[in-house]
Chain A
Amino acid sequence: MAWKTIDRISPAVDADAEPVLSKAVKAKIRSFFDRYETKRAALLPALHVVQDASGSISWQAMVEIAELLEIHPSDVIDTISFYTHFWTRPKGRKVITVCRSLTCEVMGGVAVLEELKRQLGIDEHETTPDGKYSLVTEECLAGCDHGPCLLVNEKLHKRVGPQDVARILADADNDRIAFERSDLFDAPRDKVVTGAAAQEDGAHRSTSKDQEKRRAD
């Protein structure tokens, strides 16, 4: 997606927000600097790390990323708004991405999307009221040999029919791959900051409660 505006990737401005990036997240972002000739080139990695830490990239996070990379916040927004992967509004804990490429559609992918919308009670780009799932579509997941397919966070579900939707949604591990993973683009996990520690650190890890609260506001 390139030039059309989707609500979930347009920023909600909050000029009075508290700092949101923890020291550990900032250090993680800095660790990408020596890979590139410019600091700006660390922007996509930074956005991945921040989205992994907070679920989405808030206005305040953009300002802090800009400061860190020595660019203007508008540069950050300019980049974010180009890419479908990023969220500037809170998203569900699990994002379901349904492939809608030609192969998946020929093989019956539309029925899967419709069934998901029905069972979750939400439309595309929306999040369930309990903050568990968000639903989006993507043009091609390069899984055409087992279409129709969909992603739940990191896990690719293959040859999905409408009859499989309930089973997939009921599976608590539907988003995990049993696998040796690299944490290169993940937020630092060694120090999970919550409650008082978070305030002390200036960190803010978005929890489902936060998301619910924000939605209510």
Chain B
Amino acid sequence: MGSFKPVLLRNRGVENSRSLKVYESRGGYRAVRKALKMTPDEVVAEVKKANLRGRGGAGFPAGVKWGFLPKDRTTTLLCVNADESEPPTFSNRVLMENDPHQLLEGTIITGYATQAQIAYIYMRVEFHEQFHILQKAIDEAYAAGYLGKKILGSDYSLECYLHRGAGAYVCGEETGLIESLEGKRGWPRIKPPFPAVEGAFRRPTVVNNVETLSCVPHIIERGADWFTGIGPPHSTGPKLFCISGPVNKPGCYEAAMDITVGELIERDDMGGGMLPGRRVKAIFPGGVSMGVLTADELDMKMDFVDPGNHGLLGLGTAAAVVVDQDTDMRMVLRNVARFFGTESCGQCTQCREGTAWMYGIATRMEEGAGRIEDLDILLETARNMGMMPGLSICGLPDGATYPIETIVRKFRSELEEAIRAQAPGRVEAVLSAVN
């Protein structure tokens, strides 16, 4: 502890860190030069060796993903997933605001490794300032010969286009993103075929998250062994963690994946502890879709393995939101249920109907008309919706059920107590109005 030096955020706080000049002066774009002297396969092998697991939520190894591209392909596309919309995640935003050229350098190296001709950066539309920052960086990179035809005098060419989304959570799912890029509804596709075989415009396509790509230049420059030397063997490399809610210093912090949730809240160089008079009641450590922890579980490690030991779906986006003792868990339940209820794309019946019903039940509970059996109905709905692999086109229903299931299971006594304290006759009045 304490020996960790920021890698991805090393330029944050440096004056004018967004500009090409400052980025270059701090060692930027050296990795591109190095990569262009390697063969594409060597670049892929190095990233594979580093075991760079995807930072977007699923944790799939990036190098392995690139390896799925068919050998006999003629056209390859690269999509950069900057559609960050999982509450309460903002690490991609921080990366693009402070160091857009780091992302571009990772994009160029990844483009070279996969021999992509075009890179589309799919950015959510609510990122206004970040869009202008990144477009300016792209313009600078073109002017300096890092993008466009024959990059730095090599035989490799890459076009890079920013593509703005239009407000849909599910477009962060890689095939939803591809559909949206093609000008359609952001409806995820049935897989297989996976995007590496048939993606955007039916071409082999690689989709990677902003943070994942931002790691790539460092792996190339310092080597896979340096990367695997950071953090535990199953969770290598530097990682961004977000913390928000009633803490002293909400923000985005970088560390190895050997910290605990409690450290993320308490450490002076991270969350800085809870606001005066506030105590932790619950915490969603990996984005709301991964599920919730109680105040007794703050020793959970923020890595790719330990969340599973606490009944969570995974590390997710490693963005934590703290819920304090004065917040009603029925509100939390309703807020999360509403999120997935509105963001379900509606293709799969169990997700469309299940999220809507869970939202309806949670709303009724919050209004003081819950029943004890509603808790069991929520659990049953969750079980039927997403927890059986392969039932749905995409992972959204899995993400929708883990928070509901973990809230009901871990905070059942509080919820039951609230239901028992309801005004008599309220349930009957509300339910008879529905029927």
Contacts and interface: CB of A to CB of B under 8 A. Distances in A.
Contacts of A107: 245-246
Contacts of B127: 142
A4 B342 contact: yes
A31 B182 CA distance: 16
B163 interface: yes
A21 to B, nearest CB: 17
A44 B88 contact: no
Contacts of A35: 118, 159, 161
Contacts of B331: 105
Nearest to B331: A105
A147 B201 contact: no
A103 B88 contact: yes
Chain B contact residues, majority secondary structure: mixed
Interface string B160-198: 011111111110000000001111111100000000000
Interface stretch (A164-172, A173-181, A190-198, A208-216): A173-181
Given A38-B183, A105-B335, A181-B132, A84 B166 contact: yes
Chain A contact residues, majority secondary structure: loop
A154 B131 CA distance: 11
Interface residues of A, number: 56
B284 interface: yes
B323 A82 contact: no
Contact of B182 (A40, A47, A103, A105): A40
Interface stretch (A111-119, A120-128, A133-141, A199-207): A133-141
Interface residues of B, number: 71
Nearest to A34: B159
Contact of A43 (B135, B183, B243, B324): B183
A78 to B, nearest CB: 6
A83 B90 CA distance: 21
Contact of A142 (B124, B187, B201): B124
Interface in B89-135: 89-90, 92-93, 118, 124-129, 131-132, 135
A101 interface: yes
A35 B332 CA distance: 43
B321 interface: yes
Nearest to A51: B166
Contact of B183 (A44, A177, A180): A44
Interface string A39-51: 0111111011000
A138 B200 CA distance: 27
B344 interface: yes
Given A3-B352, A45-B163, A144-B87, A38 B135 contact: no
Contacts of B180: 44
A30 to B, nearest CB: 15
Contacts of B89: 140, 142, 144
A54 B367 CA distance: 41
A142 B84 contact: yes
Interface in B65-99: 84-90, 92-93
A217 interface: no
A143 interface: yes
Nearest to B327: A106
Interface in B331-356: 331-332, 335-336, 338-339, 342-346, 352
B40 interface: no
A2 B246 contact: no
A1 interface: yes
A216 B75 CA distance: 53
A151 interface: yes
B111 to A, nearest CB: 15
Given A101-B87, A106-B321, A185 B183 contact: no
Contacts of A185: 131, 164
Contact of B321 (A43, A79, A144, A179): A144
Interface of A: 1-4, 35-38, 40-45, 47-48, 69, 75, 78-79, 81-86, 97, 100-103, 105-107, 138-147, 151, 153-156, 177, 179-182, 184-185
Interface of B: 84-90, 92-93, 118, 124-129, 131-132, 135-136, 139, 159, 161-170, 180-187, 200-201, 203, 242-246, 250-252, 284, 288, 319, 321-324, 327, 331-332, 335-336, 338-339, 342-346, 352
27 contacts: A2-B346, A35-B159, A36-B201, A37-B203, A38-B182, A38-B183, A41-B201, A44-B183, A75-B184, A82-B187, A83-B165, A84-B167, A84-B168, A101-B88, A102-B87, A102-B339, A105-B335, A106-B322, A143-B93, A144-B88, A144-B242, A144-B321, A145-B242, A145-B244, A154-B128, A156-B129, A182-B131
The 4 A-B pairs with the shortest beta carbon distances in the complex, nearest first, are A3-B346, A43-B183, A83-B166, A144-B88
